[in-house]
Structure 1
Amino acid sequence: MNWIEAVILGIVQGITEFLPISSSAHLVIAQDMFGLSVPGLAFEVFLHIGSLLAVMIYFRKDIIRLLSEFFQFIRTRDCRYQASFMFSIYIIIATFLTGVLGIILEKQMGDALKSMTTVSVSLFMTGAFLVLIERVIKYGNRKEGNMNFYDAFWVGLAQTVAIIPGISRSGSTLVAALWCGLEKETAVRFSFLLSIPVTLGSIVLMLPDMSSENFNAGLFELTAAFVASFVFAIIGIKWLIAFLQRSKLIYFAYYCFLASGFVFFFLR
């Protein structure tokens, strides 16, 4: 793999990681279309670290506030910090559910998850749920302080299904949160902040399997992929938040339908 190919995969990972169109599906599609392959586990880790760093930097104020008020509530039991404490607890619950069920699902399905048929069907399902939340289910008005255990449970369960390429992690968590009756801004924040421990957890799970054999790309290629993933993840986050403030998820549904048809008829 040369540095241009590394940048291409980094861009695909970064720009699609937080859009409701499935980054894993687009990595599979990009590899098939351009004849590329992820050169070892280390390369995949670098891609994930780039997008993880992007979301942590973008939401750094929220992270600092949540951590501060989480421990302040434990120390003082002051009701002013209770909403942030519970919001953090819900992130932990959803992350735990995703981690346990995700490992089970991956072991059961294995390589079948990465077939082009699976990608095509999953992209269509992502689009269908985005249409459903925009055309059938009305948005709620519950904010951070009104969340409950069931919100965390359903969002965590929806995020688990996103282990299947084509099922968008951001899309599934947004749909689940909105379906539970959360307002759009709260649903978006919860989805983005939930991605941090989930992505970090996936990186940690990869580390024991890494060895010198996993470094099939050079340091320059790894760095190029990391930078591309980071930069375009920042762009993707900013663009999505601005887009959702003035528009709807339905346009991503149309894209998912088109991508599903393309994969089914040309790449399957």
Structure 2
Amino acid sequence: MSILEALIFGIVQGITEFLPISSTAHIVITQILLGYSFPGLGFEIFLHLASILAVVIYFRADLLTIIKGFFGYITSRSAEYRTSFYFALYIIVATFITGVLGLVLENAIRDVFKTPPFIAAALAVTGLFLIIIERFARLGNRTEKEMTFVDAVIVGLGQTISVMPGVSRSGATLITALFIGLNKDTAVRYSFLLSIPVILGSTVLAIGDFMEGSIIAEVGVGPLVIAFLATFVFSWLGIVWLIDFLKKSKLIYFALYCFAAAIFVYFYLENSIIIDL
């Protein structure tokens, strides 16, 4: 992999990871356009780790509060820690559901969901649901204090669908969280924090690549460093921009982008061979 290719992949991953437009779909599209095939799962998950590092650093205060509250409530049963304790449980429940059902779903449709028509359809469906939640669903005002285990289960099921390229993980969780009545601030925070255990869990799939050193051998140390740094920087910028954007603007703009991307994938990449990730 060249330095330029590494930079491009890092920028694409960073920008699209937390926007409701599917980072996996964009990485697949970028591979097709550049004519480059990743050596297994390792490189893509390596980029995801850079995105997660950005989330952890950005939400470090929230994470410390949740961790402190979780263990504080266990040891003291103080009402002060109750909200953080249950919020941590809601993250665990949604993650467990996604982990179990996600593996089943991915294995069941592994040979189908990496084709351009499927990715185009998934992008279009994502756009449709973004419009529905923006235009027709009544936005709620519930915060993490009013959340329940049912909410966590529903969001976990919504997040499970994002194992399919073209379905955005952040989009799926954000749409589902808004649909069940959470306010935007809580939905966005929950979506971001959910990404940490889900993506960290997926790194298990790449342990073999890391241990064997195949990523370094195939990609190179220099490109790996460039891709990681680019992903981290643009993931951070994406987090900051999305949070600010949702305070001022509408999800419909992401929907329009998803429709445009779906059209491009279907009509211009329909005959391309999807790279086996």
TM interval, short-chain normalised? over 0.9
* Aligned 8 A contact 1:41 1:214 in 2: no
Give 2:124's aligned residue: 124
Deviations 1:120-160 (A, max 9, x none): 00000000000000011010011110000111011110111
Aligned to 1:238: 240
Runs of 4 or more consecutive aligned structure 1 residues displaced over 6 Å after TM superposition? none
Q: Tell me the TM-score normalized by structure 2.
A: 0.94
Q: Retained in 2: the 8 A contact 1:40–1:217? A: no
1:12 equivalent in alignment to 2:12: yes
Q: What is the aligned partner in structure 1 of residue 67 from structure 2? A: 67
Matches within 5 A, 1:1-268: 1-208=1-208, 210=210, 211-215=212-216, 216-268=218-270
Q: 1:266 Cα deviation (Å)?
A: 0.7
Distance 1:195 1:155 in 2: 12
Shift of 1:209: 5.1
Query: How far did 1:80 drift?
Result: 1.4
**Aligned 8 A contact 2:40 2:209 in 1:** no
Distance in 2 of aligned mates of 1:65 and 1:3: 39
For residues 260 and 167 of structure 2, the distance between their equivalents in structure 1, rounded to whole angstroms, comes to 15
Paired with 1:181 and 1:172, the residues of 2 have a C-alpha distance of: 15
Q: Which amino acid counterpart does residue 129 of structure 1 have in structure 2?
A: F
Contact map agreement 1:73 1:82 (CA 8 A) in 2: yes
Please give the alpha-carbon distance, in whole angstroms, between the structure 2 residues aligned to 1:47 and 1:128. Answer: 28
Q: CA deviation at 1:36?
A: 2.2
Alignment partners' CA distance in 1, 2:111 and 2:66: 38
The gaps in structure 2 that reach 5 residues or longer are 271-277
Gaps in structure 1 of 5+ consecutive residues: none
The answer to whether the 8 Å contact 1:14/1:230 transfers is yes
Counterpart CA distance in 1 for 2:236 and 2:204 is 22
Confirm or deny: 8 A CA contact 2:42 2:209 kept in the other structure.
no
**Secondary structure of the structure 2 residue equivalent to 1:113:** coil
Please tell me whether the aligned partners of residues 14 and 232 of structure 2 are also in contact (alpha carbons under 8 angstroms). Answer: yes
How many residues are matched? 268
Indicate the SS of the match to 1:253. Answer: helix
Contact 1:158-1:173 within 8 A present in 2 as well:
yes
Distance 1:209 1:168 in 2: 25
What percentage of residue pairs aligned between the two structures are identical? 55
